[in-house]
Copies of this chain bind each other. A is one copy, B any other.
């Protein structure tokens, strides 16, 4: 996806959020915004928004010397998400369509606010999101929520690459991957996280903490981009990306960076921002399960 002009104010909002999370003073925060401003004229709209986001978070690291400003937030998200895992399994097991509820839970994991205080709150949020999602999915056109085709392709696939998004969310991804493996234990599922810290994106340590290694192989994309910018990915990753029978891409960042790429990918996310909703042709808040090749 190209960058739209509406993304530019949002870049500064994201930069300010990250700057504040480092705990640095207002002067340093202004310096970060100034450096982002200096980078803007060289940034072309033909690049995807996460390419600018990567620059922004690079600036935050460089100015503050803090390599992983979101470390504490990620730890907290992982713990909270893990604490609701047994309940998520229960929801799955009592569902008449286990794969569908697994897809919904995977979305819930992306949408949930891990800033909430305790397990009970997270549980309540999951329930809220699930009920909202059920409604959204029912209203969804086949075009943007193509579950039947997804189920068919998934059954056929032997090797599946799953592109992770955020920490915490990994636990919810684990649910759907466990379900995929329960369909056929011979399926190979590869779970790709980021190589280096970027925003609250999952790293290998988060994947292991959330115990996804019990059901999938973990690799890294080889990059620190908040999304999957192929030119920055490792050879090992690219090899798997090319040869996998099915690629499941989680979250907006992966969609933004891959939607133009010439290989079919199943995008699974909630359209949280108006620019992406407009690009997809859906409403903000819609659940997307869309196969697309650029």
**How does the 8 Å CB contact mask read for A1-21 relative to B, with 1 for contact and 0 for none?**
000011011101100100100
The A interface, classified by DSSP as helix, strand, loop or mixed, is helix
> How many copies of this kind of chain does the complex include?
2
CA–CA, A29 and B4, complex, Å: 11
Find A40's partner among B5, B37, B45 (CB 8 Å cutoff). Answer: B37
Known: A33-B5, A37-B40. A45 touches B26 (CB 8 A): yes
Let me know if B29 and A5 touch, CB within 8 A: yes
CA–CA, A9 and B37, complex, Å: 11
Chain A interface size band reads 10 to 19
CA–CA, A33 and B37, complex, Å: 9
Find A37's partner among B13, B16, B30, B41 (CB 8 Å cutoff). Answer: B41
Instruction: List residues of chain A with CB under 8 Å of any chain B CB.
Output: 5-6, 8-10, 12-13, 16, 19, 26, 29-30, 33-34, 37-38, 40-41, 45
Question: What are 12 A-B contacts defined by CB distance under 8 Å?
Answer: A5-B19, A5-B33, A6-B16, A8-B12, A8-B16, A8-B33, A9-B16, A12-B12, A33-B40, A34-B41, A37-B37, A37-B41
